[in-house]
Chains A and B, each alone.
With several copies, the nearest count.
Chain A
Amino acid sequence: MARVVVDVMLKPEILDPQGQAVANALPRLGVNDVTSVRIGRRIEIEFAGEPDLDRAREIADKLLANPVIEDFAVHVDAAGTVKPASDSQESQPAEAPA
């Protein structure tokens, strides 16, 4: 499958209140060794033909990220794919069938 992933994150100097809220909640889950959490967007683009990195970069630059506040990175999808719960050991087994 011809999937390209664009990751968009707020520039480091821009406050990320959502990430901060998560970071603040962690001690309540008993997690104390996390120093920072940042939350951005992951965009999966399926191309009809070959995965086209240049195309994706152009789309990211024009539309998916706002250069005033965000950085982005583009890569062809590989290991990190998020799969449906049923066939991915990373995520929670769902009891209800899809």
Chain B
Amino acid sequence: MTTQPEVADVVVDEFDGGPDTVQRAAATPEELQPYAELGLRDDEYERIREVLGRRPTQSELAMYSIMWSEHCSYKSSKVHLRQFGEKAPPSDRLLAGIGENAGVIQISDDLAVTFKVESHNHPSYVEPYQGAATGVGGIVRDILAMGARPVAVMDPLRFGAADHEDTARVLPGVVGGIGGYGNSLGLPNIGGEVVFDPCYQGNPLVNALCIGVLPVDRLQNKAAAGPGNIVVLMGAKTGRDGIGGVSVLASATFDSESDQRRPSVQVGDPFMEKLLIEACLELYDERRVVGIQDLGGAGLTCALTETAAAAGTGMTVELDRVPLREPSMAAHEILASESQERMLLIVEPDQLEAVLKTAARWGVLATAIGEVTPPGPDGLPGRLTISWQGHTVVDVPPGSLADDGPVYARPMREPADLILLQADRAETLPRPSTPDALRETVLRMIGSPNLCDKTWVTEQYDRYVLGNTVLAQPEDAGVIRVDERTGLGVALSVDGNGRFARLDPYTGAKLALAEAYRNVAVTGAKPLAVTNCLNFGSPEDPAVMWQFAEAVRGLADGCAALGIPVTGGNVSFYNQTGAAAIHPTPVVGVLGVLDDVAQRVPMGFPKPANPDGDIIFLLGETRLELSGSEWAWVTHEHLGGVPPKVDLAGEKALADLLTEAARVGHLTAAHDLSDGGLAQVLVEACLRRGVGARIKLPEEFATGSMPFVFLFSESAGRAMVSVPHGQEKAFTALCTEHGVPWTALGVTDESGGQLEVRDQFTIGLDELREAHSATLPRLFGA
């Protein structure tokens, strides 16, 4: 499957002046239908005919082609994703899990949070600003559909080489779109990632995460329960936005023609979404909706079939009632349209008037378009029938679209080059071994695109709106206050490392999980739950499919080991240009809870209360692990070997220690170690508040290239903390108790204004800052 023409291109709705009706379809069984052009296989088309007992109408064909696409049906991933449920540790906090619009976790007697990450990769390549903007809009509606008020967003992003000319087109547009939409909605952006790698050239990854908060008793669901209830479409008018967008933009591989294809893209209206949010929340609080579902990919088709299928009911819909932006739209276009900022509500008839009134108060269009009908006799699910201009154009069992799509166990094969790749270890590369070379390496690394200061990006995002942001970028995790009365809050981090996953997808997925988990733990929060976005190449390539299966297995095993469940996520396949797939890129989000956000631990060394400074400790073990590291890439353009060892029991011990130490007030700062190793973390911790540090290397790392290894190895399971004078004994005792290895590194030093690594180098904070912060403005303009 490569390029697919758009739905609008191949489906002709008009026959003898009227639409293709169910009646007509039954009478003309042999009529040729362009199912292949819509991306359906012969056997899939046959199954549709079997389900219906006739050929599908044109509208039905469009609906099946969308709902059975990879993007909507998860047909290649389903068999693997099951593990998330099967291996998940039991949890009584999980109020809604995989399969819902987003997972919901209870965090106190009366409050719950819901969060999820999703991709909008292909649209963001075609139209960076709108693609990214509507990516934010889409995930926010998922959160809204659960009954939650969205309270923050995050944006894990990946681009091609930083100095590639197309990155200069894509990155500013994507960042502008994320900011433009999120800022206008009044959602603080509390973190994300900006990663550059040539493998994302032509396939940028634009993932967006949203978190929302709800009173436990406001939880909503999507089931269209209660025959006789009214189906209401609320929000923007329906236009020809992204018609076929799901199948074309989100499922098909890009090729050289994509430039000319110029697919129709969706344009977002954050103002409308803001009104939609307020209107929905008011309706929830007034208990006016029975069921609710957002309209995202596959638009009305998806919302109608999923709500009906979830309840086992049927539904009748009059398509003529759907408010249109363009009156000339055909039935299948209305059904496939991905116009943004719309929600589908199921309401009891006697609530309809009140619902319409609330919508009007917020200036949002709301229209009754249909009715819930009873299930069939013998307990069979009901049918979805849709009329258009007086004719029945759709008559289907909704479950056949929503739940019973094709499922494939696709062939898998370890990539042929993997053995050689793993044998080519970065630990054999020449390493800096003199103080001067080390000093130069520090400055070069902290200014490299992946490690440099991301202020150019994050300055375009509002972090303050709503007044509950306790930590945001560049901190390790975002921390949001959820309850002003008690100080209850949550911490969130998203992480992924495509290079590690390329070298070993099983371990790479675990490493991404471990990093996000650690990032949450360093703030003092207790990690609770996981979301993920799995960005991969074509599932039709057995090597990609193997990477995918391994990554899922790694993430599921990792979650089981850490005792936190996957609550939801998203799969993005076909991130591929020609035969070249992106690095397998599992992006993992971890959510933790803080009983009192006032106890959160920041990443930067604070101005110490004691003139002698705070004491700096490194927690965890440093090994010679350079394969897949940022250093190997920046200085040798090298990718090979095996990724760092992952020890989830050790991660858990570290997290427990950090949570406990934060609770008793031992920590003035804590910063997790990942890309760029200890050197990066020291520099970031110093620059954050302009407080220097004096460091002494442990003896076993004092000579030859060992200082370099200590500073740049990317061993997992480590964090750096600072502890006030007088508390170090109690702190190290706590470390011993938790079985976490610790090393005293030195002290913070406010007056010095420099970072000193004894016997190696001293660099002034100004020089560090200049090296760290000049890169993105140089590349993308001041």
Q: Do A and B come from one complex?
A: yes
Q: Which residues of A contact B (CB under 8 A)?
A: 10, 12-17, 20-21, 24, 66-69, 94-98
Nearest CB to that of A10 among chain B residues?
A: B267
Q: What CA separation (Å) do A95 and B262 show in the bound complex?
A: 7
CB-CB < 8 A to B265: which residues of A? 14, 68-69
B267 touches A96 (CB 8 A): no
User: Which residue of the partner chain, among B6, B269, B272, B326, contacts A13 with CB atoms under 8 Å?
Assistant: B326
A17 touches B363 (CB 8 A): no
B239 within 8 A of A: yes
CB-CB < 8 A to B326: which residues of A? 12-13
A13 touches B261 (CB 8 A): no
A56, chain B: closest CB distance, angstroms: 22
CB-CB < 8 A to B126: which residues of A? 68
B646, chain A: closest CB distance, angstroms: 42
User: Which residue of the partner chain, among B127, B241, B363, contacts A15 with CB atoms under 8 Å?
Assistant: B241
Q: Which residues of chain B from 230 to 276 have any CB-CB distance to chain A below 8 Å in the complex?
A: 236, 239-241, 260-269, 271-272
Known: A97-B6, A97-B8. A15 touches B263 (CB 8 A): no
User: Which residue of the partner chain, among A10, A17, A96, A98, contacts B269 with CB atoms under 8 Å?
Assistant: A17
Interface of chain A, main secondary structure: loop
B260 touches A95 (CB 8 A): yes
B325 within 8 A of A: yes
Subset of 24 A-B contacts with CB under 8 Å: A10-B267, A13-B240, A13-B325, A14-B264, A15-B236, A15-B267, A15-B340, A17-B267, A17-B268, A17-B269, A17-B271, A17-B272, A20-B269, A21-B271, A66-B127, A67-B262, A68-B126, A68-B265, A69-B265, A95-B262, A96-B6, A96-B264, A97-B8, A98-B264
CB-CB < 8 A to A20: which residues of B? 269
Q: What CA separation (Å) do A24 and B275 show in the bound complex?
A: 14
A69 touches B127 (CB 8 A): yes
CB-CB < 8 A to A95: which residues of B? 260-262
A24 touches B363 (CB 8 A): yes
Nearest CB to that of A17 among chain B residues?
A: B269
CB-CB < 8 A to A68: which residues of B? 126-127, 262, 265
Q: What CA separation (Å) do A45 and B262 show in the bound complex?
A: 27
A48, chain B: closest CB distance, angstroms: 16
Nearest CB to that of B325 among chain A residues?
A: A15
CB-CB < 8 A to B8: which residues of A? 97-98
B9 touches A69 (CB 8 A): no
Q: Which residues of chain B from 329 to 344 have any CB-CB distance to chain A below 8 Å in the complex?
A: 339-340
CB-CB < 8 A to B240: which residues of A? 13, 98
CB-CB < 8 A to A24: which residues of B? 363
Inter-chain pairs besides A15-B236, A15-B239, 11 sampled, C-beta below 8 Å: A13-B241, A13-B264, A13-B325, A15-B241, A21-B271, A67-B262, A69-B130, A69-B267, A96-B9, A96-B262, A97-B9
CB-CB < 8 A to A69: which residues of B? 127, 130, 265, 267
Q: What CA separation (Å) do A95 and B240 show in the bound complex?
A: 16
CB-CB < 8 A to A94: which residues of B? 262
Q: What CA separation (Å) do A98 and B241 show in the bound complex?
A: 10
CB-CB < 8 A to B130: which residues of A? 69
Q: What CA separation (Å) do A89 and B264 show in the bound complex?
A: 20
